[in-house]
Amino acid sequence: MIKHIVMWNVSGETPEEKRRTALIVKEKFEALADQIPGLKKLEIGIDSSRISYACDVVLYSEFVDADALRSYVDHPLHLRVKADLEGMRISRHQVDYHVQDL
């Protein structure tokens, strides 16, 4: 299994604008659940801490293997979400790591 975690800061001049943008990101990615082969779990969270160094949104997902993650990256539904969110995400951080199934 491979875990794929992405964190973004989103656009918005005020906290309310940023929250609205974060909700759009959440909605778009949640629509991918059960739509991508090999994607076992997808979870989106919006930061509630509001500390200065926190990211606004986090995507946590699990894939059956690295091939499934690579397929997700180029999957038409994922590419559509990326296009729909163009300009809404202003910074991005990512970690992918393998987990040995016991």
pLDDT by residue for the chain (102 residues), tens digit each? 999 999 999 999 999 999 999 999 999 999 999 999 999 999 999 999 989 999 999 999 999 999 999 999 999 999 999 999 999 999 999 999 998 764
Strand positions, DSSP E, 1-102: 2-10, 39-46, 57-63, 89-98
Rounded CA-CA distance 21/42 in Å is 19
The confidence score (pLDDT) of residue 102 equals 44
CA distance readout (Å), 49 to 45, 70, 74: 12, 32, 33
The confidence score (pLDDT) of residue 101 equals 60
The confidence score (pLDDT) of residue 50 equals 86
CA distance readout (Å), 67 to 18, 24, 39, 58, 71: 34, 28, 11, 22, 6
